[in-house]
DNA sequence: CCCGATATGCACCATAGGGTGTATTTTTGT
DNA sequence: ACAAAAATACACCCTATGGTGCATATCGGG
């Protein structure tokens, strides 16, 4: 991973409605010098007020089930208004939809509450340095999701060459022969050759058709 | 996680071309009583032969870069012929494509080689109990991928008229001016007019761009 | 009743695009 | 080292496309 850690501690806020859990986390995580707890809130609204009032945090440990605004909605709000804040979902629920919704809302990690305290600490720190902590059972669900989505895109192998693939991308981006030639520092006639080869391989005969095929079959 | 572990040890095979790494893993992982090393192979073909010969494994630690069949292709083969085998990719590469390809091929986990030995052990065991071990930096890439695919269809209202919408659909379907005119029983010049109007509204100036915009913004 | 939006149509022009053929240089895989 | 594949390039041809201007007819709402 990263060889060195940044000089200052990570400013961490906790949003968790159960007081015992909240205080427990605050106490335990605060023990580590690399983490500075800047707030522990019982509701997402509390955190938002804090931020609106000028408070600052690097990272938020967010529960999903909360009174008032739930953790996923809160994540969306945070990403929208304070995009530099890293949100980690910390919950006992490993419901597939909740996991995906969290991720789509912008959460950088999804940690289950049964994670051992010191592992939790590691995961929080890893999130601070560009990683995404994911509990193994959660990861399994995410991978299942990807695989499910992966089946949708049919194999679609037209064995395009490297150059042809690059040219294809440019066609999709709407470049003309000339622009394409300049982009690749080749003659317009060559660009054209590549395009015609692509047409043969994809069995089409116009840019419009190529763009459609490329987008629909995920060739780009 | 799971409260109890199954009675017998996990039968683990290692596929890794570098002898030192292979032997190191074999030695270290073999120390734990919950794991039984049933084979360490320098090539994927070696593992396949072993399985064809009646050998049995629960889990495979698979390198990606291998002489002969690479780890991803091998994963595909294993999933196809021995679907009960859990494949974990273990590699130094965190290339986005390789990660996604592995997952789509059926790998249950993607662990980076810089993972500390005891963490590796933990991840292997977690995979044995329905989890999916994913290194944090790898998880980040996967989440990015999900988010990218999660883009909601932005409203995108260009106030196209009825006719223009029909024409747009035909453009996406690759019709030429002439075909389009015939399809709607109008003059080619009229078809063209509609198209030019569409270009103005969508702020583009070629069919290729229109097709892309229409598909990406769900105008059709 | 008039205006604006929609739909229709034609003319003219310059350029981009599609199709075919040929040929040389590089890369790549035995 | 040799053959196949890929990438490069030019010529020629005709059509499709995009851009602009102008014009007519219809319809709905103010």
How many angstroms separate the CA atoms of A61 and A38, rounded? Answer: 12
Give residue-wise pLDDT tens across range B113-172.
Answer: 777 777 788 778 877 766 666 666 666 666 565 555 544 333 356 778 888 888 998 899
- Which of B129, B202, B210, B211 would best serve as a mutation to test chain A binding (most A beta carbons within 10 A)? B211
The answer to whether the Cβ–Cβ distance between A133 and B136 falls below 8 Å is yes
Q: Do B206 and A207 make contact, defined as CB atoms within 8 angstroms? A: yes
pLDDT digits 0-9 by tens, B70-125: 888 888 888 878 878 888 888 876 666 677 777 777 788 888 777 777 778 877 88
Domain locations in chain B? 10-149, 162-216
What CATH number should be reported for the domain whose range is A10-150? 3.40.50.2300
Choose the CATH number for A162-216 among 3.90.330.10, 3.10.105.10, 3.30.1550.10, 1.10.10.10: 1.10.10.10
- At A139, the pLDDT band (50, 70, 90 cuts) reads low
Q: What is the mean pLDDT of residues A74-100?
A: 81
CATH fold match for the domains B10-149 and B162-216: no
Average pLDDT of chain A to the nearest whole number: 80
Phi-psi region of B159 (alpha: psi -120 to 50; beta: other; left: phi over 0): left
Residue B205 to chain A, least CA–CA distance (Å): 9
Q: Three-state DSSP class for B126? A: helix
pLDDT value for B92:
76
Weakest-pLDDT range from A16-20, A77-81, B147-151: B147-151
Q: The CATH number of B10-149 is which of 3.40.190.10, 3.40.50.2300, 3.40.50.970, 3.40.50.720?
A: 3.40.50.2300
Q: Nearest nucleotide to A187 by CA–C1' distance?
A: D9
Task: Say yes or no to pLDDT of A195 above 50.
Answer: yes
Residue A195 CA distance to nucleotide C26 C1' (Å): 20
* Percent of chain A whose pLDDT exceeds 90: 20
For the ranges A122-136, A205-219, B145-159, the maximum mean pLDDT occurs at A205-219
Which of B109, B143, B208 is nearest residue A211 as measured by Cβ atoms?
B208
Do A130 and B149 lie within an 8 Å CB cutoff? no
Q: How far is CA A153 from the centre of its chain?
A: 21
**Residue B204 pLDDT greater than 70, yes or no:** yes
Mean pLDDT value of segment A116-144: 69
Q: What is the pLDDT of residue B5?
A: 45
Closest CA to D19 C1' — which residue?
B196
pLDDT at B152: 39
Report the distance separating Cα A62 and Cα A160, nearest Å: 46
Average pLDDT, integer, range A90-101? 74
Which chain A residue's Cα is nearest to B127? A136
Chain A residues with CB under 8 Å of B106 CB are 147
**Would you place residue B177 in the very low, low, confident or very high pLDDT band (cuts 50, 70, 90)?**
very high
Closest CA–CA distance from residue B69 to any residue of chain A (Å): 19
Q: What is the mean pLDDT of residues A206-210?
A: 92
Q: Is A118 exposed, middle or buried (0-12, 13-18, 19+ CB in 10 A)?
A: exposed
Q: With beta carbons less than 8 A apart as the criterion, state whether B108 and B87 touch.
A: yes
Q: Please name every residue paired with B211 in a beta bridge, in sequence order, or none if there are none.
A: none
Which range is least confidently modeled, A56-60, A206-210, B107-111? Answer: B107-111
Q: Name the one residue in this structure whose structure tokens are 């999933």.
A: B79
């Amino acid at each position: 991973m990263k060889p060195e850690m940044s000089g200052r501690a990570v400013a961490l806020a906790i949003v968790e409605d159960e007081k015992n859990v909240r205080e427990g986390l605050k106490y335990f995580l605060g023990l580590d010098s690399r983490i500075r707890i800047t707030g522990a809130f019982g509701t997402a609204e509390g955190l938002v007020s804090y931020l609106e009032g000028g408070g600052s945090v690097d990272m938020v440990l967010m529960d999903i089930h909360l009174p008032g605004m739930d953790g996923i909605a809160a994540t969306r709000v945070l990403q929208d208004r304070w995009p530099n804040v890293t949100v980690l979902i910390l919950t006992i629920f490993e419901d597939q939809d909740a996991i995906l919704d969290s991720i789509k809302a912008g959460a950088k990690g999804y940690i289950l509450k049964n994670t051992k305290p010191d592992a939790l600490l590691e995961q929080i720190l890893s999130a601070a340095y560009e990683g995404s902590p994911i509990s193994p059972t959660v990861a399994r669900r995410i991978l299942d999701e990807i695989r499910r989505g992966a089946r949708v895109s049919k194999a679609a192998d037209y064995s395009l060459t490297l150059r042809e693939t690059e040219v294809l991308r440019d066609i999709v981006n709407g470049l003309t022969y000339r622009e394409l030639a300049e982009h690749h520092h080749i003659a317009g006639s060559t660009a054209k050759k590549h395009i015609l080869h692509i047409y043969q391989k994809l069995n089409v005969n116009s840019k419009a058709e190529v763009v459609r095929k490329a987008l629909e079959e995920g060739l780009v």
